[in-house]
Amino acid sequence: MGVYIDGDQLLDDAVNLENKIKDSKFIPLLSGSILSVKDNFCVQNCRSSAGSKILENYISPYDAAVVEKLRAHQSLILGKNNMDEFGMGSSGLNSAYKAAINPWSVNHEYALSAGGSSGASAAAVAANLCHGAIGSDTGGSIRQPASFTGILCNPLSLPIIASLILLSLL
């Protein structure tokens, strides 16, 4: 599935969540959901390479905003999903690491593409490795992998995210 999985951190988070649930009457909707994130989103103390050898040793000192929100809702972050290098690709085959292979291709002579730069995120969900995954999309990188792997996607926030990214670059 991924570029990086921190099993110790996942286990610690799960134990902490179990204790919170025992002590609380309010349980957020996403509590205990096991999610993974595309490698262009930072996860604290986790390698964030954006699918590139250039960043292979970068360890993020912070969580991306989306990861902070997922953690606030008591989601468990399984790990990071591989991606086309810097999101440049429409097949999931252009990573500096390994290709994102469609889990539906196990009985085929040739591996099928998981599609798009978020292909590994879609493949992780389709292979039931996690309940959901966070990807990014500016030209089909969520929609194409979802259609290739037979899962659902929600790219509804694209105009808002694209605007924030554009504004942050100015």
Q: Return the active site residues.
A: 38, 117, 141
Q: Which amino acid is at 10?
A: L
Residue 3's Cβ-side half-sphere holds a number of Cα atoms within 13 Å equal to 33
Which residue bears the tokens 């799960």?
A: 14
Give, rounded to a whole angstrom, the gap between the first and last alpha carbons of the chain: 34
CB 77 within 8 A of CB 36: yes
Distance (Å, whole) CA 156 – CA 21: 31
C-alpha of 119 from chain center: 10
Which residue bears the tokens 């493949």?
A: 123
Please return the burial class of 38, using the count of CB atoms within 10 Å of its CB with bins 0-12, 13-18 and 19+. Answer: buried
